[in-house]
Amino acid sequence: MLIVKTTLLFIVTAVAEIVGCYLPYLWLRQGGSPWLLIPAAASLALFAWLLTLHPTAAGRVYAAYGGVYVLTALFWLWAVDGVVPDRWDLAGGLVALAGMGIIMFGPREAGA
């Protein structure tokens, strides 16, 4: 259950970061409204707060988060940008996700 909860929290965190970065992209590169910066800032604040909810050392959380971020960004590429990830995208995403699993769920001594 801990693995599922942690992974879902990482996915929500990744979506908050991607939205927080995508909205300014829409404003700067796609001619969107500068009002997009308000929900972007809120989404980035949510992202930072979500990272604090993990019950392990911050550096470990940041390192492991990267793996889930990569896979979530590839899903965003497909769902939002309309670009189907190729086999190399997927292979890289799975390697990154495996790294996240090792970092977060590898056996450790108590207090480590």
pTM of the predicted protein model: 0.84
For residues 69-82, average pLDDT:
94
Residue 111 lies in a domain: no
Residue 36 lies in a domain: yes
| DSSP helix/strand/coil, 111 | coil
Residue 47 lies in a domain: yes
Residue 7 lies in a domain: yes
In 3D, which of 63, 55, 62, 73 has the Cα closest to residue 11?
73
For residues 21-49, average pLDDT:
95
pLDDT surpasses 90 at 60: no
Please, where are the H alpha helices in the chain? 2-30, 37-51, 58-79, 87-105
Residue 110 lies in a domain: no
pLDDT surpasses 90 at 105: no
Residue 112 lies in a domain: no
| Residue 110 DSSP code | T
- Give the pLDDT score at 112: 65
What does the mean pLDDT of the chain come to? 91
Domains in the chain: how many in total?
1
Q: What does the alpha-carbon distance between residue 93 and residue 10 come to, in Å, rounded to a whole number? A: 14
| DSSP helix/strand/coil, 12 | helix
